[in-house]
Amino acid sequence: MVPSAVAERLADTQQAAFTTVPVDLGDRSYPIHIGSNLLQEGRKLADMITGSTALIVTNTTIAPLYLERCTEALKSAKPNLRVESVVLPDGEKHKSLEVLQQIYTRALELRLDRKTSFVALGGGVIGDMTGYAAASYQRGVNFVQVPTTVMATVDSSVGGKTGVNHPLGKNMIGAFYQPQGVLVDTSTLDTLPDRELASGLSEVIKYGLIHDTALFEWLEGNMQALLDRDEEALTYAIQQSCLNKARIVALDEREAGLRATLNLGHTFGHAIETWQGYGAWLHGEAVAVGTMMAAHMSVLQNWIEPSILDRTKKLLLQAKLPISPPPGMTPRDFMELMAVDKKAQDGGIRLILLKGPLGGCVITGDFSKEALQETLAEFCH
Ligand SMILES: NC(=O)c1ccc[n+]([C@@H]2O[C@H](COP(=O)([O-])OP(=O)(O)OC[C@H]3O[C@@H](n4cnc5c(N)ncnc54)[C@H](O)[C@@H]3O)[C@@H](O)[C@H]2O)c1
Ligand SMILES: O=C(O)C(=O)C[C@@H](O)[C@H](O)[C@H](O)COP(=O)(O)O
Ligand SMILES: [Zn+2]
């Protein structure tokens, strides 16, 4: 059974039912609309577009699936809108400054002005890149997120972290830049491969572990429904994740403190992604391993009951997510790569670790170095 959503439920008489989660950021506040077939309907998306031109940024996998639908939706809702597009190569290894250039080039070739809205149609890679392109093109144009992966609907489309990878570090070039709105059309998830679906669930488990006990317990009873793509379950997971993220972002937009808790497992996970040269594993897969390592370290320090680690492992395994680093990666690789992290301060790494009952965590540089070494030795084999 899915409990009733906390978010306000709205139902238009003629349009698809949807829920809206607000992101409260003063004059940069925006809505996250969540519902099935919202893209087809057009109006919700068109309402978020400012100016007379939209540039849809997508990739070679998503374009054949949803570019026409997105373009037609915008044109039918706003007949005078000029709609253009740019199609990037697919994959994490293309989340780079080199490929970002393709967005600027297309926008300049089309003579797009400062009133243009960029539309990110895709997963987290497209969302992060489009957001950064929007933040920097002519010093800033508006943008809208249309996430099409679980990862993007539950996490990356919300909160305004935008950017690209550097060969030496994940997401190292970027900006905080909020969208005008987020449109989650849950029907786009129908075409998402199982592996990508599971990857996104890794971040849903994260919200449960760091702040939301009820969500974690709900996942324990509903993981199979999510893997089976039960519409109600997926929508609930997306809504609850967006509520969690919107609350945290509203309190700490630029990661002065609280927001860093969203980085549970990411210092380890980003090290894995960088070590692989990006793309061999999906982001959520690397985060799954990182979450296990952070939970293991927390147990070693007696900060959490071992049962929390066991329950986390069970959920990750049920989702068929990895729980060990890729073969060949050594403790030394981890230590070198983890030093390149945006949470590092004065040369020391800081980690998000679990502490107290389920749902509790801390951001700290004050952890046992032996516990870290023991964890790396245990996981790298
Ligand atoms: N900005 C943030 O707050 C934030 C949060 C989490 C993750 N991220 C970033 O997001 C990225 C990962 O995002 P992701 O997991 O969505 O990966 P992704 O964007 O690479 O998408 C995964 C794959 O699914 C394909 N795809 C997307 N939508 C599809 C659909 N509906 N049907 C079929 N195929 C589809 C993509 O083309 C791609 O091949 C990473 O770069 C990560 O760092 C950012
Ligand atoms: O929104 C945030 O804040 C997060 O940390 C969400 C993470 O899931 C996401 O992977 C983010 O891109 C990581 O940010 P980074 O600052 O560690 O690069
Ligand atoms: Zn993440």
CA atoms within 13 A on the CB side of 218: 22
**Boundaries of every domain in the chain:** 8-194, 264-381
pLDDT for res 15: 58
Per residue of the chain (381 residues), give pLDDT as tens. Answer: 334 343 444 344 445 689 999 999 999 999 999 999 999 889 999 999 999 999 999 999 999 999 999 999 999 999 999 999 999 999 999 999 999 999 999 999 999 999 999 999 999 999 999 999 999 999 999 999 999 999 999 999 999 999 999 999 999 999 999 999 999 999 999 999 999 999 999 999 999 999 999 999 999 999 999 999 999 999 999 999 999 999 999 999 999 999 999 999 999 999 999 999 999 999 999 999 999 999 999 999 999 999 999 999 999 999 999 999 999 999 999 999 999 999 999 989 999 999 999 999 999 999 999 999 999 999 998
Lining residues, ligand 2, CB within 6 Å: 155, 159, 161, 170-171, 203, 255, 259, 262-263, 266, 342
Superfamily of chain region 264-381? Dehydroquinate synthase-like - alpha domain (1.20.1090.10)
Task: Give the strands of the sheet with 117-122, arranged side by side.
Answer: 8-10, 18-23, 30-35, 181-185, 142-147, 117-122, 53-59, 82-88
| Cα(111) to centroid(ligand 3), Å | 34
Of 263, 272, 273, 337, which is best to mutate to test ligand 2, by the most ligand atoms within 8 angstroms of its C-beta?
A: 263
Q: In this structure, which residue's CA is closest to atom 11 in ligand 1?
A: 124
Q: Does domain 8-194 have CATH number 3.40.50.1970?
A: yes
Question: Quick one: tokens of 58?
Answer: 């997508």
Q: Which of 110, 44, 37 is nearest to 69 (CA)?
A: 37
Residue nearest to atom 18 of ligand 1 (CA): 123
Establish whether domains 8-194 and 264-381 are of one fold. Answer: no
Catalytic annotation on 43?
no
Distance 125 CA to ligand 1 centre (A): 5
Q: Which of 186, 196, 197, 274 to mutate to test the pocket of ligand 1 (most atoms within 8 A of CB)?
A: 196
CA distances from 140 to 52, 115, 124, 130, 137 (A): 16, 9, 20, 11, 5
Q: ipTM score of the complex?
A: 0.99
Q: How far is the CA of 369 from the centre of ligand 1 (A)?
A: 33
CA–CA distance, 33 with 227 (Å, rounded to integer): 23
Minimum CA distance residue for ligand 1 atom 43: 283
Known active-site residue 206: no
